[in-house]
Chains A and B, each alone.
Chain A
């Protein structure tokens, strides 16, 4: 079975989603166990695949038995092997903690929720593992459609935010498709490595430049790089908690990986960095993203919207780190993908726990929440310290690489933006901690909560989130520290080989 691992990673969630849709009409309690089994199978397969790649070099899997470029191939190397493990782990952790929240939010439609969840995961895993440009588009659309549906069933402005996300996401995916069309027009092939082989023979060509610009613009819209980030804050704020802790850590990171793959494999470093003059403008966009994201996060009065703007700033880190063009910057960017997925999961899950219990995400109404929800707030503390960049959490190490990359490239604006963002995150999180810890817990609060709707269970002294949410939350917080301690190993053994040797 070992050489079938690449396909098991993607097909397991797909089959599980189909079985859930079929069986849920008959036996409701089956949907959660089936999803967990699929998540575990996917995670084990991705770990096995990463170990294969580390010991034996890249893995190629031919679908349908046809050799490339006539068939579709999966290409796994160190870069996507590592991110596959990260994505399947994040998805599984969130799934494990989702049971009570999902029953509460969706009631009768829980089966459909789990099926859409697994289809979303399968789409993201497929984007990570594919070696064919058009296959990436199809899987991108699966992940996007299920994402729109999952976000649309939130509260208040959720349907409108989901529709705006749909419009911008469709423009992005269509621009990417148009770029692939231009590439096909000039090379006649859809396989990534094959296109990379043919492109040097037809350069210099205006059409290839157009294809590059279109593909990159499409991906920038989908990863919410400033100024194309308008869809992200609303979409992540108003979606249900269990959905925002799935979508926020994963969507933008996988799109950033797609940008990596496009630039490193299809267009090659030489073309992207040297022939095109886009390196500096994109770097300035990344700096603007970091600064604007941090400033807008400061201005927010709601917890989830603040966290959503922090995600916008984090995208700037990774995009800037990649387009710095040196080894430290790229190491930092790839490491930051892993770290940011874990950090964002941690803070969004903690925010979900808090919103579940207090029914209100305004920052001002989080008074005293440290006393009532100590474990969730402890996890939020760890996540916040990681976002600020305090050792030994993982956020410190990836920031370290990014800063040293920025200094080596002479891009002091980027370094300044990173430090500015750390300072703003410090202000944000310490403000949160101050409200939660030091403000006295108003005594009239217990009465107020009884007058709310009957969703709230009991609301006296320690009203912690349900246990099945707490265990994955604590596991994620521990993961942040473990990732921090082992980040040197991760860089030396895995990420180092993912970056092509031409980068110094």
Chain B
């Protein structure tokens, strides 16, 4: 039976990710300012990136660049010596996607600011109400 310490060491990466997910999701839903929501979105996506990266680690292994790679004839390569490269590849894509989404979100926020003069959601709703009833 594992001790609590063993359990924490085995799982604490997932718990850190879950904490970030909760923070990001709460910020996206509950905050009033649009830029804070955008930051929450970024935290949410970063948490998922950390989740994938932590899947790929192996105890005692090194980065996935084959050590005597250049110019030598073939050496036997053991998979246990190198960490899993696939989550890193996938998360390169996810980071780029999150940057792109951030760019589009900021452009939309700038348009909203130039249209309504404010970035607080409740003030924007009031202005919309006024313009629709007017």
The segment from A178-186, A279-287, A364-372 that touches chain B is A178-186
Q: Please report the C-alpha to C-alpha distance between residue A163 and residue B116 in the assembled complex, in whole angstroms.
A: 14
Does chain B have a CB within 8 A of A148? yes
Q: Please report the C-alpha to C-alpha distance between residue A184 and residue B55 in the assembled complex, in whole angstroms.
A: 9
For A152, the chain B residues whose CB sits under 8 A away are: 104, 107-108, 111
Contact of A170 among B45, B55, B124 (CB under 8 A): B45
The segment from A154-162, A397-405, A449-457 that touches chain B is A154-162
The interface centre, meaning the residue of B45, B48, B101 with most chain A CB atoms within 10 A of its CB, is B101
Report yes or no: A166 in contact with B105, Cβ–Cβ below 8 A. yes
Q: Please report the C-alpha to C-alpha distance between residue A162 and residue B107 in the assembled complex, in whole angstroms.
A: 11
Report yes or no: B28 in contact with A163, Cβ–Cβ below 8 A. no
Report yes or no: A145 in contact with B101, Cβ–Cβ below 8 A. yes
Contact of B105 among A157, A163, A171 (CB under 8 A): A163
Report yes or no: A170 in contact with B101, Cβ–Cβ below 8 A. yes
Report yes or no: A163 in contact with B41, Cβ–Cβ below 8 A. no
Report yes or no: B97 in contact with A141, Cβ–Cβ below 8 A. yes
Q: Please report the C-alpha to C-alpha distance between residue A472 and residue B112 in the assembled complex, in whole angstroms.
A: 34
For A163, the chain B residues whose CB sits under 8 A away are: 34, 105, 108-109, 112
Q: Closest residue to A160 on the B side, CB-wise? A: B112
Does chain B have a CB within 8 A of A300? no
B91 to chain A, nearest CB (A): 10
Contact of B104 among A148, A160, A174, A185 (CB under 8 A): A148
Report yes or no: A185 in contact with B55, Cβ–Cβ below 8 A. yes
Contact of A166 among B94, B108, B128 (CB under 8 A): B108
For B44, the chain A residues whose CB sits under 8 A away are: 170-171, 174
For A167, the chain B residues whose CB sits under 8 A away are: 28, 37, 41
For A171, the chain B residues whose CB sits under 8 A away are: 25, 28, 41, 44
Contact of B94 among A145, A160, A162, A177 (CB under 8 A): A177
Report yes or no: B100 in contact with A145, Cβ–Cβ below 8 A. yes
Q: Please report the C-alpha to C-alpha distance between residue A138 and residue B45 in the assembled complex, in whole angstroms.
A: 14
Q: Which residues of chain A in 116-148 are interfacial with respect to chain B, using CB atoms and an 8 Å cutoff? A: 134, 138, 141, 145, 148
Q: Which residues of chain B in 62-110 are interfacial with respect to chain A, using CB atoms and an 8 Å cutoff? A: 86-87, 90, 93-94, 97, 100-101, 104-105, 107-109
For B105, the chain A residues whose CB sits under 8 A away are: 163, 166
For A181, the chain B residues whose CB sits under 8 A away are: 48, 51-52, 55
Q: Please report the C-alpha to C-alpha distance between residue A163 and residue B128 in the assembled complex, in whole angstroms.
A: 15
For A160, the chain B residues whose CB sits under 8 A away are: 112, 124, 128
Does chain B have a CB within 8 A of A11? no
Q: Please report the C-alpha to C-alpha distance between residue A192 and residue B112 in the assembled complex, in whole angstroms.
A: 41
Report yes or no: B104 in contact with A149, Cβ–Cβ below 8 A. yes
For A170, the chain B residues whose CB sits under 8 A away are: 41, 44-45, 101
For B37, the chain A residues whose CB sits under 8 A away are: 167
Does chain A have a CB within 8 A of B115? yes
Q: Please report the C-alpha to C-alpha distance between residue A184 and residue B86 in the assembled complex, in whole angstroms.
A: 10
Q: Closest residue to A148 on the B side, CB-wise? A: B104
Report yes or no: B48 in contact with A177, Cβ–Cβ below 8 A. yes
Report yes or no: B108 in contact with A138, Cβ–Cβ below 8 A. no
B71 to chain A, nearest CB (A): 26
0/1 string, A385-414, CB within 8 A of B gives 1 = 000000000000000000000000000000
Report yes or no: B41 in contact with A159, Cβ–Cβ below 8 A. no
Given contacts A167-B41, A170-B101, contact A159 B112 (CB under 8 A): yes
The interface centre, meaning the residue of A160, A166, A171 with most chain B CB atoms within 10 A of its CB, is A160
For B48, the chain A residues whose CB sits under 8 A away are: 174, 177-178, 181
A437 to chain B, nearest CB (A): 29
Q: Please report the C-alpha to C-alpha distance between residue A59 and residue B37 in the assembled complex, in whole angstroms.
A: 44
For B128, the chain A residues whose CB sits under 8 A away are: 157, 160
For A174, the chain B residues whose CB sits under 8 A away are: 44-45, 48
Q: Please report the C-alpha to C-alpha distance between residue A160 and residue B109 in the assembled complex, in whole angstroms.
A: 8
Contact of A178 among B41, B51, B104, B112 (CB under 8 A): B51
B55 to chain A, nearest CB (A): 5
Report yes or no: A166 in contact with B55, Cβ–Cβ below 8 A. no
Q: Which residues of chain B in 1-40 are interfacial with respect to chain A, using CB atoms and an 8 Å cutoff? A: 25, 28, 34, 37
A170 to chain B, nearest CB (A): 6
Identify 15 residue pairs between A and B in the complex whose beta-carbon atoms are under 8 Å apart, listed by A's number: A141-B97, A141-B100, A145-B100, A152-B108, A157-B128, A160-B112, A163-B109, A166-B105, A167-B28, A170-B101, A174-B44, A174-B48, A178-B48, A178-B51, A181-B48
Closest 10 CB pairs of A and B: A159-B111, A163-B108, A141-B97, A159-B112, A159-B108, A152-B108, A181-B52, A178-B48, A162-B108, A185-B55
A-B contacts besides A171-B44, A184-B55, 11 pairs, CB < 8 Å: A134-B93, A141-B100, A141-B101, A145-B100, A159-B108, A159-B112, A167-B41, A174-B48, A181-B48, A184-B87, A185-B55
